[in-house]
Structure 1
Amino acid sequence: MKAGVIQEVKRRRYFENKQDEKKRRTRDAAKRNKRSRRPFSRPFQQKPEVPEAKKSDDDGDNWDLPQGGIPY
C-alpha cells in the first residue's frame, strides 16, 4: 500500500468542510515539523583537563566561611 492511503480513506468517509480541512492540514503540518525538529543526541564528550597552572591558582582561594556564627 502507498503511504497515507488509510488516512485518506478515513478522511473521505465523511464530508469535510473548508474549516475542518484547514484544521486538519495545520495539524498534519505540525506533526511533520515536530518529527523533523526532534533534537539529536550528541555523543558524550569528556571535559578538557584543567592545566596545572590553573589548578595551583585555585589552591590559593579561600572560600571557607568565617570563624563564628553567621551574622544574620
Structure 2
Amino acid sequence: MPNNPDQNQAKMIEAKANLVQKLLEASENPKPSYKIDGQEVDWKGYIKMLQDAIDRLSTLIASEEDDWEEMSQWYV
C-alpha cells in the first residue's frame, strides 16, 4: 500500500526536527576530531553531515508543499 503524501511529509518534518536536535546537542558540546587505534572521529564532519541532511530535508519538504499546492489548483 503506497504511503499517504501527508504521512511522508510528516515523517520528513519529524526527521528534520530530530536532526536539528542532534545538531543543537553537537553544537552545545563541541568535541575535537581525533584518531585512535586506526579509527577517526570527525566531529566537524559529523556537524556538516547533519547540516547537509537538514538542508536536503528542507528542500524535499518545500518541494512536496509546492507539489501539493500545484495539485490542489487542479481541483479548483
State whether TM-score is above 0.5.
no
Structure having the larger proportion of residues in strand: 2
Please report the TM-score for the alignment, with normalisation by the length of structure 2: 0.36
Please report the TM-score for the alignment, with normalisation by the length of structure 1: 0.38
Greater radius of gyration (CA):
1
Larger relative contact order (Cα-Cα within 8 Å, sequence gap ≥ 6):
2
Structure having the larger proportion of residues in helix: 2
